Amino acid sequence: MHKIHLSPSSFFCPKYSSHINNWHGHIPFACDLVYYERPSLIVELGVHLGDSYFAFCQAVKEFNLNTQCIGIDNWQGDEQSGFYDEDVFYKVQNYNNENYFKFSRFIKSDFDEALNLIEDKSIDILHLDGCHKKENISHDFYNWFPKVKENGYVLLHDITINRHDFGVYQFWEEIHDNYPSYSFFHSCGLGIIQKNNKSILSLGGITFDSSNNSIKDHYLYHSLRITQFTNKSDAHII
């Protein structure tokens, strides 16, 4: 049996989901990433209703880690996600206050304005999920990459969406060979980069080699398993 099959993602049951399911399939990987990396700091750019953000928070709480989580968003929306009302922020903040206030906080601002609030080389896990135009993801990536620690991870969502003005897939094509990286193709795609000079990404002693189908199959299987939690309408907290 491959080591990945015994990882915590096999048993993780998400407690939070909204009706926006684009990221749900990556919750099992988020769980393993948090478990094996034992991060000091997780930062997410683009929280919206919190589907990805609260998955990281749940893992931090369940594994009883000493991790700070920071979610950054202006909570106004953008051209791809659509624009939305102010009450979205208050609902997400309430859920955070009720469940994760000890280690999680939000910065309600544009990403560029928040840049000076985070120290260089301080982030263990950076999730980029803001505006998905090529110029925006490129801008966010190069602005925030210096904030990531050596051996830290950067996640980019939507690397498989090739419609309208989504351009993360083009940006991913350009950069992923420059770093140890791994691509998931389900749930709109998730690209993962590890910030070091090695050739292959590794996590918890597991080598994320793209030729190894066990890893892709494992996360695809568990992305489907967790839909029994995230697809239930009474699971949609917000």
Ligand X SMILES: C[S@@+](CC[C@H](N)C(=O)[O-])C[C@H]1O[C@@H](n2cnc3c(N)ncnc32)[C@H](O)[C@@H]1O
Provide the minimum distance between the beta carbon of 77 and ligand X in the complex, in angstroms, as a whole number. Answer: 5
Q: Are 86 and 75 in contact (CB under 8 A)?
A: yes
Tokens, residue 199: 């050739």
Q: Is 187 one of the binding residues for ligand X (CB under 6 A)?
A: no
When asked if residue 74 is in the footprint of ligand X (CB under 6 A), the reply is yes
Residue 51 is a binding residue for ligand X (CB under 6 A): yes
Cβ-based nearer residue to ligand X, 13 or 200: 13
Specify the stretch interacting with ligand X by CB under 6 A; choose among 41-49, 172-180, 197-205, 221-229: 41-49
Among 98, 100, 91, 99, residue whose Cα is nearest residue 73: 91
The pair of structure tokens assigned to 156 is 């980019």
- Give the tokens for residue 64: 């009883």
Neighbours of 163 (CB within 10 A): 6
Question: First CA to last CA across the chain, in angstroms?
Answer: 39
> Shortest CA distance to 179 belongs to which of 155, 156, 197?
197
Q: Does 131 bind ligand X (CB under 6 A)?
A: yes
Please identify which residue in 10, 40, 76, 196 interacts with ligand X, judged by CB under 6 A.
Answer: 76
Q: Per-residue string for binding with ligand X, 219-238, x by CB under 6 A?
A: --------------------
Asked whether position 20 contacts ligand X by CB under 6 A, the answer is yes
Return the DSSP state at 159: T
Smallest distance, ligand X to C-beta of residue 159, A: 13
* Binding-site member from 90, 94, 101, 110 for ligand X (CB under 6 A): 110
Q: How far is CA 161 from the centre of its chain?
A: 16
Q: Which pair of structure tokens corresponds to residue 135?
A: 């110029």
Q: Does 17 bind ligand X (CB under 6 A)?
A: no
Residues that bind ligand X (CB under 6 A): 20, 23, 46-49, 51-52, 73-78, 81, 110-111, 129-131
